[in-house]
Amino acid sequence: MGALPAMKWKFGILAGAAFSLAACGNQSFQDRAIGLMLEEPNLAHAAGQFPRFAPLLAAKRGPALDVQIVQSGLRGGFLRESTQGTIESWLGNDGVALIFDRGVLHGTRGLGAGMLASDVSASANAILAGRSGEVDRIHTFLNGNDIAVIRAYKCTIVNEGSETIQLDSGATSTRRMVETCFSLDQSFKNIYWVDTSRGRIVQSRQWSGEFVGQLAIQTVYNF
């Protein structure tokens, strides 16, 4: 992706249909994500601005995330709402939320039958360390009957070396990491670009589940 002019995208246009979330199980890996949920997205505010978003925008603290649903082309901006340990929750102005563990997608809210929570700590550790190898993932999705479904994946992570990408702040030296995952009936590939000077994932393409598919995510510093 090329550089993005400051404030050239609309915050929060990703929302599709609201989806009622059933109560999650008591799995320990879900606890941190569930603790971040102050309330579920209410898309009645989508035409205006979700109440929790206004103070984030007024604070003018960066960075932001520019996110695109690859399949549909829908695109929106997100601001960081909260941090709890290694978990960060990012909010769009219509209440859609994306939750990350050190830049690796951990959960979604307000994007239909999305990812409730996940254990991606092994992936995050390897990706940030630039380490190739085998890791395990666990995802919890909500199916059409409001039932939480847990899936386990075996993933292979490969360090593909250095790559310079363009962010809105200019050319950025990164390390490209590719993660390929398989379960009994699903497979997906994620790509991460790690800023070697900041030690953070600044650009990625990550699978969010069958309902939405791949998300293209880029950090925006000058918003």
Of 9-23, 122-136, 179-193, the poorest mean pLDDT is in 9-23
Q: Are 140 and 150 in contact (CB under 8 A)?
A: yes
Neighbours of 32 (CB within 10 A): 17
Average pLDDT estimate for 179-199: 96
Instruction: Answer whether residue 40 shows pLDDT above 90.
Output: no
Please indicate, yes or no, if residue 8 is contained in any of the structural domains.
no
Please indicate, yes or no, if residue 20 is contained in any of the structural domains.
no
Instruction: Answer whether residue 26 shows pLDDT above 90.
Output: no
Please indicate, yes or no, if residue 5 is contained in any of the structural domains.
no
Give pTM, 2 decimals: 0.79
Q: In terms of residue numbers, what domain contains 212?
A: 28-220
Q: What is the pLDDT of residue 101?
A: 97
Residue whose token pair is 């909260």: 82
Distances 49 to 24, 40, 55 between C-alpha atoms, Å: 28, 15, 11
Q: What is the pLDDT of residue 62?
A: 80
For 48-81, the pLDDT digits (tens) are: 556 788 788 888 788 999 999 998 888 888 999 9
Please indicate, yes or no, if residue 4 is contained in any of the structural domains.
no
Instruction: Answer whether residue 28 shows pLDDT above 50.
Output: no
The CATH code of the domain that includes 150 is 2.40.360.10
Instruction: Answer whether residue 211 shows pLDDT above 90.
Output: no
Average pLDDT estimate for 121-144: 93
Q: Write the single-letter amino acid at 44.
A: A
Please indicate, yes or no, if residue 39 is contained in any of the structural domains.
yes
Burial class (CB in 10 A: 0-12, 13-18, 19+), 28: exposed
Instruction: Answer whether residue 7 shows pLDDT above 50.
Output: no
In DSSP terms, 220 is beta-bridged to 64
- 101 token code pair: 């563990």
Please indicate, yes or no, if residue 7 is contained in any of the structural domains.
no
Higher model confidence: residue 128 or residue 60? 128
HEC profile for 104-166?
EEEEEECCCCCEEEEECHHHHHHHHHCCCEEEEEEEEEECCCCCEEEEEEEEEEEEEEEEEEE
Please indicate, yes or no, if residue 87 is contained in any of the structural domains.
yes
Higher model confidence: residue 35 or residue 122? 122
Please indicate, yes or no, if residue 17 is contained in any of the structural domains.
no
- 72 token code pair: 């549909």
Distances 8 to 1, 4, 21, 59, 161 between C-alpha atoms, Å: 14, 7, 32, 19, 31
Closest CA to 175 of 203, 152, 200, 196: 196
For 138-160, the pLDDT digits (tens) are: 999 877 677 888 999 999 999 99
Question: DSSP secondary structure string, 15-78?
Answer: -----PPPPP---GGGHHHHHT-SS---GGGTTS--TTHHHHHHHT---EEEEEETTT--EEEE
Domain count, the chain: 1
Average pLDDT estimate for 43-49: 43
Average pLDDT estimate for 18-33: 30
Q: What is the pLDDT of residue 49?
A: 59
Q: What is the pLDDT of residue 53?
A: 80
